[in-house]
Amino acid sequence: MQKVKNPQKNMSCELSPYPKISLPKSQARSIINIQDRKIGDGYFLSIAGSCAVESEEQIFQTASAIQKSGAQVLRGGAFKPRSSPYDFQGLGEKGLQYLHAAAKNYDLICVSEVMDTSDIQLVAQYVDILQVGSRNMHNFSLLKALGKINKPILLKRGFAATYHEFLLAAEYIAHNGNDQIILCERGIRTFEQETRNCLDLAAVPVIQEKSRLPIIVDPSHGTGKRSLIAPMTKAAIACGADGVMIEVHPTPDAARTDSMQTISTESFHQLMKEINASN
């Protein structure tokens, strides 16, 4: 909270830099309801699936497995923000169709990334939650346009963004009319080379002190390493995350994108069992 002077009344009052998403003392935390699945204020959401939708068979197998393990949301990228233009860019609309069909078939809801303002309507036709990727957290045209739709947004933290910038990005969406926002801590870039990103779990309680919005943790992009997914998922839950998003594939070694950080459907099943047993 910033203390500012109110010149008209010549007294000081408190103005939040994020009036739409802040957590005033009297106000309860947000619960976002997505097709009868809830997240926030004690409701935990598990999102799982492959980095990219690779084929109809692959996403159906993934959906079947994660549903049996107790996840509620199927993820899969159809428009992939790859560092190299020569890497697999995703299946585009075909990928969205496969994702949607797989989610429906297994009574899941689904999330996929939208990279460009001009694709919002297309992506929104097929998914229940639209994801803004880390590289687009500062894309203000995209944030403003997503504020004008009536679907939940999963906003990932920019890999070099402060908490303040992260919350302001969410405020852009809310200020434009859409306050169904789920924040996602996905790791930031530091000097450490051992992990792909530095998963900043302090973001969870810090953001929860400042904002009423739910915040989930993505240990897959946050670490870049299969072996770290289980411990960091448990750590995310321990520090109060409202959900997790984990990359899962029936044959992780063969995954076309982010193979090193993707766990098998069996490992995911085991992890979900452990999580449920300790809660």
Report the phi/psi class of residue 23: left, alpha or beta, with left for phi > 0 and alpha for psi in -120 to 50: beta
Find the part of the chain contacting Mn ion (CB under 5 A) among 50-58, 116-124, 132-140, 162-170.
Answer: 50-58
Whose Cβ is closer to ligand PEP: residue 18's or residue 159's? 159
What, of Mn ion, ligand PEP, none, does residue 156 touch, CB below 5 to 8 Å by kind? ligand PEP
Whose Cβ is closer to ligand PEP: residue 171's or residue 185's? 185
Find the shortest distance in angstroms from Cβ 151 to ligand PEP: 17
Q: Is 51 in the site for Mn ion (CB under 5 A)?
A: yes
Find the shortest distance in angstroms from Cβ 221 to Mn ion: 6
Q: Is 229 in the site for Mn ion (CB under 5 A)?
A: no
Q: Is 248 in the site for Mn ion (CB under 5 A)?
A: no
Interacting residue ranges for ligand PEP, rule: CB under 6 A: 51, 77, 81, 133-135, 156, 186, 221
* Total residues in contact with Mn ion, by rule CB under 5 A: 2
CA separation for the pair 196, 191 (Å, rounded) = 10
What, of Mn ion, ligand PEP, none, does residue 133 touch, CB below 5 to 8 Å by kind? ligand PEP
What, of Mn ion, ligand PEP, none, does residue 205 touch, CB below 5 to 8 Å by kind? none
Q: Is 246 in the site for Mn ion (CB under 5 A)?
A: no
The contact set with Mn ion (CB under 5 A) reads 51, 258
